[in-house]
Amino acid sequence: MTETTSQTAGNADGAGPAPPQTLAGRVRRSFTDSSGSIVFGMEDGTVSIFGLVFGVAAAAPNSSAVLLAGATGAIAAAVSMMAGTFLDVETANDQAASRIAEERARYAADPEKADRDVRRRLVSAGFSDTEATVTGIMSKHPETRLEIAAAVDLGAGEATRQNPYVQSAWMFITDLFAAAVPVVPFAIFGLGTARIVSLIVTFTLLVVLGIGRARIGRRRVLPTVAQTVGIATAAALAGLLVGKLIS
């Protein structure tokens, strides 16, 4: 009873262990941390398969041919993007770990010189000489000092590791979903109707994606939406041109 009460009090004071995160909370955090991969996956899936579908639809005899090409391309593209994201994140993590190891070795060789270097970087970044004394305060906590030094010398982004499995999973899911949007109408309607429906639902998805990009990046909505739709339009026109030339 006493132990439970003390843990509760510790959490209320902010000194105790944090409460375990729920599954929904972990998924939400994962979604937020993977926003770059999600936007990239949605953009790639929509643009590449939209162009493919309209190129094939220009020469295909029926919806089945477009569906086969679109579905095959969507799955192949999603798997390819997932593998590429995994390798990219893993390589970035390895590079960051290597540079932090170099930073650790530099500190071990000459701690005072390393502290002076970090202090000089902080001063040149606009900190006062008094504020830059944080390196001296951190001397009693070597690991914390290393993290601060890595953030200053290497950049905070390079000192942060991402989970390649999570990033690649989000890439696969979003890329496949976005790629399926222009393809699904060809599984439901005839060729002529499917073209129109595919155009409408893909345009709607691109508008939503553009709004999402604007909110994430805190950019102006209309230019971001126009840019997103314009890229997909260029891909569709390229695919349509190729389809007309071949047919």
**pLDDT per residue over 23-54, tens digit each?**
677 777 777 777 777 888 888 888 889 888 88
pLDDT digits (tens, 9 = 90+) for 178-219: 999 999 999 999 999 999 999 999 999 999 989 988 888 888
- Output phi, psi for 70, to 5 deg: -65, -45
Cα–Cα distance for residue pair 122/125, rounded to 1 Å: 5
Identify whether the C-beta of residue 88 lies closer than 8 Å to the C-beta of residue 72. Answer: no
Per-residue confidence (pLDDT) for residue 82, from 0 to 100: 93
Tokens of 55: 């190129």
Per-residue confidence (pLDDT) for residue 222, from 0 to 100: 93
Identify whether the C-beta of residue 156 lies closer than 8 Å to the C-beta of residue 124. Answer: no
Average per-residue pLDDT in the chain?
78
Identify whether the C-beta of residue 17 lies closer than 8 Å to the C-beta of residue 11. Answer: yes
Per-residue confidence (pLDDT) for residue 152, from 0 to 100: 54
- Whether the pTM exceeds 0.85: the reply is no
**Residue listed under structure tokens 């000194």:** 15
Per-residue confidence (pLDDT) for residue 134, from 0 to 100: 58
Q: How far is Cα of residue 101 from the mean position of the Cα atoms in its chain?
A: 26
- Please report which helix (H) or strand (E) contains residue 49, including its range: helix 35-57
pLDDT-based confidence at 153, cuts 50/70/90?
A: low
Tokens of 54: 């309209």
CA-nearest of 165, 157, 36 to 92 is: 157
For 11-42, letters b (16+ CB in 10 Å) and e give eeeeeeeeeeeeeeeeeeeeeebbeebbbbbb
Candidate from 72-76, 123-127, 166-170, 228-232 with smallest mean pLDDT: 123-127
